[in-house]
Structure 1
Amino acid sequence: MDGRDWGKFLLPYQQAVEELKVKLKSLRSELKARDEYAPIEFVTGRVKRISSILEKARKMAVPLDKLETGIEDIAGIRIMCQFVDDIHRVADLIRNRKDMRLVYEKDYITNYKDSGYRSYHLIVEYPVQTSLGSKPVLAEIQIRTLAMNFWATIEHSLNYKYREQLPDHVRERLRKAAEGAFQLDNEMSSIRQEIVDSQQEFEESAGIVRKVMNHIQELYFHRKIREAANFQLRFNELWEQEDIRGLKELSAEIQAAIDRAGKGGAS
């Protein structure tokens, strides 16, 4: 190992990972807030361990003074999606961003590896603002379905155990498992609209319930206790009946009562 200060070397990468996670999670929240389907299920990130950086540099014959350009995944972001089509939409969203520059892409879904590994990789250059000025940092963004990620996590663990010398029978079973995972993705894609509609109905129901409960509490705040208690009873009945339309109408009534209370009207 060279005599560099690894703590200082990794700081920009740590900052890049944290900022990218926040931005991509915010993108998901923004889409949901606009009542749009959010193709991002969740986002994780990590900075490569020093031992892993050195091992990869050795395998790729990257000189230690060229790590910043020779190792592209020191900063790594992983985006999980529900459907294969979501992966391509997320890739489009990243390509169109102005706060990072796309360097190149690797499509391991269309051109999956012999092992069965499937994922979509984007190598981006992200400018980190440090105390010494702007510093461009390379980061790898992997976009996968949940099934692809499950398979890749298992493969990674097995490669670690066998030091990347997997026995033939294990390698063959992994290949079959990868095909099974991709068949699952295809099956889910075939009923995608039904799944999305169901999820949106659930989100809408949860949002109405949250809104009604918050508004009832607001009536209590305005000391409209009798009115609030009456609305609570009606809410309980509608909730038991799973009457979403009735809950929407109740929400509008409560909002009108709040408006009257705010103007000093009588209950």
Structure 2
Amino acid sequence: EKIALRGLSVENLAQDMQDIAGLRVMVQFVDDVDEVLALLRRRSDMTIVSERDYIRNRKHSGYRSYHVIVSYPVDTIDGRKEILAEIQIRTLAMNFWATIEHSLNYKYQGNFPEEIKLRLETTARMAYELDEEMRKIRDDIRDAQLLFDPINRTLKDSVGNSDDTDEDLFG
């Protein structure tokens, strides 16, 4: 079905299609996407062919994800061949939205009523806001842990929470 939609021939399928293989990497936080990208860029066994950042530049539908097309060598019976694979990197919230939107889109065959399109865009925005709020919570927890960590005593001293500071003031 996709072959016909894209105007491809079965004979030239391997050459014509970019996403012969696919992999989805789900991360907890948006900034984890950059860490995964850094790991991919350091790999010497594959070549990055293209990148599309739908996280910072979301699609009109609200879809967010980071897509990387890589060329990867595979040993076959006919010798070594380069295959193209698409790696999608997204948060759990982005994946939740995209999975449900995809199943609804399939049922509507891509022809959503305008009200449904707007509601889907709203829920995509809510998923992104959820990612942002969870990042802030994570950062607040990390900051609080630093304040209570005895190894970081100098940090606590500078905030005025140590016993030594109290003695100097009242001593």
Query: What TM-score do the two structures reach when normalised by structure 1?
Result: 0.51
Structure 1 residues 136-159: Cα deviation after superposition (integer angstroms, max 9, x where no partner): 111100000000000000011001
Once the two structures are aligned, what percentage of the paired residues are identical? 56
Q: Deviations over 1:138-193 (max 9, x none)?
A: 11000000000000000110011111212222211110000000001111122233
Q: What amino acid sits opposite 1:181 in the alignment?
A: A
- Give 2:84's match in structure 1, choosing from 124, 127, 138: 138
The one-letter amino acid paired with 2:100 is I
Q: Which amino acid is 1:103 matched to?
A: V
Q: Which has the larger radius of gyration?
A: 1
> Unaligned regions of 5+ residues in structure 2, if any?
145-171
Question: How many residues are matched?
Answer: 144
Alignment correspondent of 2:97: 151
Residue 169 of structure 1: aligned partner: 115
Could you say which residue in structure 1 is the equivalent of 2:159?
A: none
| Counterpart mapping for 1:16-95 below 5 A | 55-95=1-41
Q: Please give the residue correspondences for 1:156-235 in structure 2 after superposition, counting only pairs within 5 Å.
A: 156-194=102-140
Change (3 A) 1:167 1:86: same
> How far does the alpha carbon of each residue in 1:83-122 deviate from its partner, in whole angstroms, 9 at most, with x for none?
1010011011101101111111011011110000000000
Query: Partner of 1:112: helix, strand, or coil?
Result: coil
1-structure distance, mates of 2:43, 2:23: 16
What letter is aligned with 2:4? Answer: R
Q: Distance in 2 between matches of 1:127 and 1:196?
A: 41
* AA partner of residue 79 (structure 1): V
Letter in structure 1 aligned against 2:98 = A
Runs of 4+ with >4 A deviation: 194-198
Unaligned runs of 5+ in 1: 1-54, 199-267
> Which structure has more strand as a fraction of its residues?
2
- State how far apart, in whole Å, the 1-side matches of 2:129 and 2:14 are: 38
1:118 aligns with 2:64: yes
CA contact (8 A) 2:20 2:83 kept: no
Q: Could you tell me the TM-score, scaled by structure 2's length? A: 0.78
SS of aligned partner of 2:86: strand
Aligned letter for 1:187?
Answer: E
Q: CA deviation at 1:194?
A: 4.8
- Cα deviation, residue 56, structure 1: 2.3
| Residue 195 (structure 1) shift | 5.5
User: Which residue number corresponds to residue 73 of structure 2?
Assistant: 127
CA distance in structure 2 between the partners assigned to 1:108 and 1:58 by the alignment: 26
Instruction: Find the counterpart in structure 2 of residue 100 from structure 1.
Output: 46
The separation in 1 between residues aligned to 2:84 and 2:8, in whole angstroms, is 15
Q: Following the alignment from structure 1 to structure 2, what is the Cα–Cα distance between the partners of residues 89 and 183? A: 20
> Structure 2 vs 1, CA of residues 195 and 160 (structure 1 numbering), >3 Å: closer, same or farther?
farther
| Higher helix residue share | 1
Select the structure with the greater relative contact order (CA < 8 A; seq sep ≥ 6): 2
Distance change in 2, residues 1:196/1:153 (3 Å)? farther
